A = this chain, B = another copy of it.
Amino acid sequence: MPRTIVPTEPAGTLSDAWRTCVGTGRFNLALRRDYQDSLALAQRDIGFRYIRGHGILHDDVAVHRPYDAAGHRGTAYVFTYVDQVIDAYLEIGIKPFLELGFMPSALASGDQTVFWWHGNVTPPRDHAEWAQLVQALLRHLIDRYGLDEVRTWPVEVWNEPNLDIFWKDADQEAYFRLYEASVLAVKEVDAELQVGGPAISPGADDWWKPFADFVTARDLPADFLSVHAYSSGPAQHVPFGVYQTLRAPQNLLDQFARPREILAGTVLADRPLHITEFNTSYRPDNPVHDTAYNAAYLAPVLANGGTHADSFSYWTFSDVFEENGVPASFFHGGFGMLAYRQVRKPTYHLYAFMARMGQEVLARGDDHLVTRHAGTGQVTVLAWQPVGGSESPEEPDRHEVRLSIPAPTGGRVFAMRHDVDETAGNAWAAWREMGRPASPSAWQLDALHEASEPARRAFSLPVAPGADGGRVDLDLTLGRHGVTLVTLDPVRDETPPWVDDARIVARD
């Protein structure tokens, strides 16, 4: 197998789109300790900029509060939980990507709901009252967090209105009316607040043109565009879960690219594009999310997605999520990068590996991404076994990556390798070996945490002289569905001349 020669000079810059945003379960869940502990861990290891989820206006956050008692009548806007959550977000170092929805019952025109937690998906019975609610929310946020801060928080109008489970009858005209009421309300509060939509699900390409036409015709703001991407097929149900087919990873990248292709030439052509949700499966009960396969599958998506979109937001950072109810088992195919109690899944490690990449891209390939840190010169290699979804054959047990990396001439480089695959850094595999306990005991949780640690190996490699400076041969054998990070730093040898390790257990 030939060796890939990694260039000395950067070919480009690694976009931060992959960590610009991450998805979350409904707003109210952010009050939980497991959720906040998990988010704090993710921010320490990964460092997302925004977090986006549903339900800030849902009844269990209880912002919209009409009252009528003892001769007093009116509507209070209550921010008890909004403040607790957003205070926590900012303390943890992440900003909200606001999604307006779902409909407070007392403002709803109907009683259709979505999810186990009954999000109301009907239009407001009074658009003026909706506008007041939106403005009350934004004015409160500005009052509490400052205008400069809130101007950096995007405001997205609703979620997947093209699906009738999320928006009554998937009524496009009704959505446009909601969009108009919302964006005008937002801009009236402050013209520099960023507002956009239409937050459509995959497979709704036919919404783009009407949306462009509508905002053009009505001269409405659309500071950014948003859309979702998933690559799984229909659900094959079993109790408490599903299996699905998966298309190839390129399919996700194609979905990322689609809106700009469609909107070329329209007024929306160069608006910022946010993939406000993406994942392999769109189901919170598909075991693929727990696997190394998921990480290997997404590696090329993270490495390359930034060329198509300004952000793509993994749905979601944690298994603290209840759209289908409370999961029946510790591992249950949840969307989370993190299972309950901060057990890290392989996909979490993929993100943590990405967070250690440099900004200068030296090489991109089908199974690798090589970067360099501008400041320190550290070279970082992300490698993975390519996987192809349901249409590809089973992957082999091993995958070889052979690279020739530029390095300072003379001496050695210190390498630290981190591996995740079917057995390494794989809590789900350990859990399976345990007999898949639904409620792991204390020692089992400890063992899952231990099993979730990536395999690591520290070593050094010689630098061979080359035409354009030194070169290091890095040969990696990855395990099945493996994702590997290698960091390479030049060795500054401080070994004193008198050191002789053979004398440590001296022979007389």
Contacts and interface: CB of A to CB of B under 8 A. Distances in A.
18 contacts: A60-B326, A65-B240, A67-B328, A69-B237, A78-B327, A79-B438, A79-B439, A80-B438, A144-B442, A233-B506, A243-B503, A245-B505, A423-B459, A433-B491, A435-B494, A436-B496, A450-B458, A451-B458
A84 B440 CA distance: 11
A327 B434 CA distance: 44
Interface stretch (A2-10, A124-132, A286-294): A286-294
Interface string A153-172: 00000000000000000000
Q: Sort chain A's interface into a size bin.
A: 35 or more
A238 B456 contact: no
Contacts of A450: 416, 418, 456, 458
A450 B352 CA distance: 14
Interface centre among A33, A81, A236, A330 (most CB of B within 10 A): A33
A210 interface: no
A443 B503 CA distance: 30
Contacts of A70: 237-239, 498
A215 interface: no
A291 B78 CA distance: 23
A269 to B, nearest CB: 36
B33 A495 contact: no
A501 B233 contact: no
B443 A62 contact: no
Contact of A84 (B34, B325, B412): B34
A301 to B, nearest CB: 16
A282 to B, nearest CB: 15
A293 B505 contact: yes
Nearest to A297: B505
A494 B436 contact: yes
User: Which 5 pairs between the two chains have the least Cβ-Cβ distance?
Assistant: A62-B326, A430-B458, A435-B493, A243-B503, A33-B33
A215 B321 CA distance: 44
A255 to B, nearest CB: 19
B456 A504 contact: no
A455 interface: yes
Contacts of A33: 31-33, 36, 88
Contacts of A498: 70, 72, 238-239
Nearest to A82: B439
Contacts of A443: 376, 378, 489
A310 interface: no
A88 B83 CA distance: 24
A429 interface: yes
Interface in A228-264: 233, 236-240, 243-246
Contacts of A236: 503, 506
A109 to B, nearest CB: 22
Interface in A431-453: 432-439, 441-443, 447, 450-451, 453
A34 B436 CA distance: 32
A497 interface: yes
Contacts of A72: 238-239, 496-498
A436 B326 contact: no
B433 A414 contact: yes
Given A328-B65, A423-B457, A455-B455, A506 B438 contact: no
Interface in A356-386: 376, 378
A499 interface: yes
Interface string A11-32: 0000000000000000000011
A460 interface: yes
A447 B79 contact: no
A390 interface: yes
A151 interface: no
Contacts of A437: 492, 494
Interface in A22-72: 31-34, 36, 60-62, 65, 67-70, 72
